[in-house]
């Protein structure tokens, strides 16, 4: 009987260990797509396809990167500068946007007063704020962070606001009938209902923040990946422009990985595929 129990426990324990320690699966299709993209780019340039005649080939870009930028401290400082601006703007947008969205969704009087202002300011493109931010903030760095903040702020506010307003009244009435206090309703019903919308707002906000910071750096920044790309354009150095573009894409991809990780931590009930 004891031996039978041990034989039953052994596969169960092995299965538990296997489920906890999952090796990441390599995306072969994605790798093939990336290789195909660069191969098509190379052949289009070499064949002189219209639109590609003035574009540098991938090997030329790689050679420029290896000779001029891989050991260039200023290049990697541009990465750090852009990441810091995105991080500060993104975090400030979450810290201010989530409480504001909750208040707009739960306080009717405050909603009637503040929401029309939000709706007027929300359609204004973040880059339209650049002149005002330069005049308002004392340093260029603070101006760029403010633009990053604007890019993500309205997205998170609207997502949280809509999530709170979409909570069914029946759920709140049922909790109240069972004796739940306002604080318990807020913690047990509203917050879990809002978390998926916060996650969506984070995903959309980080992408918009990268778009905004690059444009802001091109306009008023002294460094950063956006400034690197702009300097390549001004100097008519196509390889530098492409290096800047690829760097921006990789930086945004790395930021998305971090946000996806945070989303999984925020919503552990979701099935991981």
Determine, yes or no, domain membership for 260. Answer: yes
Model pLDDT, residue 8: 46
Determine, yes or no, domain membership for 34. Answer: no
Task: Tell me the CB-side half-sphere exposure of residue 174, using CA atoms within 13 A.
Answer: 7
Of 82 and 127, the structure prediction assigns the larger pLDDT to 82
Whether 161 and 105 have beta carbons less than 8 Å apart is answered as yes
Determine, yes or no, domain membership for 4. Answer: no
Return the CATH number at 176: 1.10.3720.10
Which residues constitute the domain of residue 117? Answer: 58-265
Reported pTM: 0.79
Model pLDDT, residue 271: 52
Structural domain count, the chain: 1
Tokens 């004392």 sit on residue? 138
Q: Which pairs count as long-range contacts for 166-175, CB under 8 Å and 24+ apart, including other chains?
A: 166/193, 167/193
Determine, yes or no, domain membership for 47. Answer: no
Determine, yes or no, domain membership for 157. Answer: yes
Determine, yes or no, domain membership for 194. Answer: yes
Determine, yes or no, domain membership for 248. Answer: yes
Q: Kindly state the DSSP code that residue 267 receives in the 8-state scheme.
A: -
What does the alpha-carbon distance between residue 94 and residue 79 come to, in Å, rounded to a whole number?
Answer: 22
pLDDT in tens, 208-224: 899 888 888 887 767 88
Q: What is the mean pLDDT of residues 117-146?
A: 88
Determine, yes or no, domain membership for 21. Answer: no
DSSP readout, 149-207?
HHHHHHHHHHHHHHHHHTS-HHHHHHHHHTT--HHHHIIIIIHHHHHHHHHHHHHHHHH
Find which of 5-14, 88-97, 158-167 is predicted with most confidence, using mean pLDDT: 88-97
């Amino acid at each position: 009987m004891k031996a039978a129990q041990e034989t039953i426990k052994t596969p169960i324990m092995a299965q538990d260990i296997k489920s906890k320690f999952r090796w990441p699966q390599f995306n072969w299709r994605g790798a093939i797509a990336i290789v195909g993209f660069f191969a098509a780019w190379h052949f289009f340039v070499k064949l002189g396809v219209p639109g590609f005649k003035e574009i540098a080939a991938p090997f030329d870009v790689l050679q420029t990167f290896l000779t001029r930028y891989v050991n260039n401290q200023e290049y990697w400082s541009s990465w750090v500068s852009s990441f810091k601006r995105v991080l500060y703007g993104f975090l400030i947008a979450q810290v201010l946007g989530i409480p504001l969205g909750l208040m707009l969704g739960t306080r009717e009087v405050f909603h009637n007063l503040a929401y029309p202002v939000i709706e007027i300011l929300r359609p204004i493109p973040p880059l339209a704020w650049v002149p005002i931010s330069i005049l308002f903030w004392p340093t260029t760095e603070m101006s760029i962070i403010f633009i990053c903040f604007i890019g993500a702020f309205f997205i998170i506010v609207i997502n949280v606001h809509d999530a709170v307003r979409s909570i069914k009244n029946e759920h709140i009435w049922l909790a109240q009938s069972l004796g739940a206090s306002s604080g318990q309703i807020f913690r047990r019903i509203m917050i879990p209902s809002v978390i998926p919308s916060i996650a969506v707002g984070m995903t959309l906000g980080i992408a918009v923040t990268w778009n905004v910071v690059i444009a802001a750096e091109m306009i008023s920044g002294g460094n950063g990946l956006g400034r690197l790309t702009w300097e390549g354009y001004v100097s008519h150095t196509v390889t530098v422009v492409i290096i800047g573009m690829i760097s921006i894409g990789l930086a945004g991809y790395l930021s998305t990985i971090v946000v996806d990780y945070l989303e999984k931590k925020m919503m552990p009930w979701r099935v991981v595929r």
